[in-house]
Amino acid sequence: MITTVHGRWIGLSLAMGVLCGCATSPAIRPVPHGAALSIAVVRSPQANAGARIRNQALGDNTSTGAGSGFVIGAMSGLACGPLAIFCVPLGAIAGGVTGTAAGAAVGLTGALTEDQSRLVLARLDRVQRSHNLGDEMARDVTERARSQWDRSSDTPTHLATVELQTIRLTSTRDECIGFVVSVLVRVQAGRTESKSATNEGLFEYLGPFTSLAEWLDDNSDVLDSSLSIASRQLALQIVAELTPR
């Protein structure tokens, strides 16, 4: 009897492991110390398409609903007795779908109004016209890279392309605005177009949340300051990742 129960729980663990599995992206390969490195900072086509606002309350409640739904569904599957190894995964999936729908309904109550969203995006657009994040990142990355690699060579052996992605905005239930700056870095070694000689990595900076009133205040420099901090932090992350350990 003990052996049978033990076998069922092993099957349950394996089934839940399949449901909860995840994968991570490999780290970007470093550039050797002293190598001749050329750095180019560009904006992706997405960056010129403008920012979008994601309702953080929607995301949080959806994932919470899905998580609780999976657990409840999985527990109900245990009622199948000897067939629990089959019922648990199916019950977890069904519960997850139901929980996600319920969580999304709750999260929608935290969304910004259409007028609020328009004002937030307009404010960001005004700041970006006077605050060139791409130019600032080029200065910050170049300055930090100077102590690690040869930046003066006319024949670089490595090329690092720093591509500024779209700035994503998030809103919370209590009307606070946050942002995420994503940067895709591609490093090409040598003068070949071979894919094996090129690797890339995605770097992100999550800015602090700011009240809607302060975000919309044209006299406040909180957004300018946050973008400058994002530039410095991303430059630090990029150079640290490219530096050999």
The pLDDT, as a whole number, for residue 90 is 45
The pLDDT, as a whole number, for residue 189 is 86
pLDDT in tens, 19-67: 334 333 447 889 999 999 999 999 887 665 556 677 654 344 333 334 4
Catalogue all structural domains in the chain, each as residue range(s) with its CATH number. Answer: 31-55+111-242 (3.30.160)
Task: Assess whether pLDDT exceeds 50 at residue 211.
Answer: yes
Query: In the predicted model, what is the mean pLDDT of residues 129-141?
Result: 94
Does the predicted model carry a pTM greater than 0.75? no
Q: Is 212:116 a contact under the CB 8 Å cutoff?
A: yes
| Burial call 172-190: b when 16+ CB within 10 Å, e when fewer | bbeebbbbbbbbbbebbbe
Task: Assess whether pLDDT exceeds 50 at residue 214.
Answer: yes
The Cα 62–Cα 55 span in angstroms is 11
The pLDDT, as a whole number, for residue 208 is 87
Can you name the residues that pair with 98 across neighbouring β-strands? none
Question: Cα 55 to the chain's mean position, in Å?
Answer: 15
Query: In the predicted model, what is the mean pLDDT of residues 100-129?
Result: 71
Instruction: Please give the residue that has the higher pLDDT: either 146 or 99.
Output: 146
pLDDT in tens, 95-104: 444 443 333 3
The pLDDT, as a whole number, for residue 49 is 56
Helices and strands (H, E) in the chain, number of each type: 7, 6
Task: Assess whether pLDDT exceeds 70 at residue 18.
Answer: no
The pLDDT, as a whole number, for residue 236 is 94
Q: Which of 18-22, 123-127, 197-201 has the highest mean pLDDT?
A: 123-127
pLDDT band at 165 (very low <50, low <70, confident <90, very high): confident
Task: Assess whether pLDDT exceeds 80 at residue 74.
Answer: no
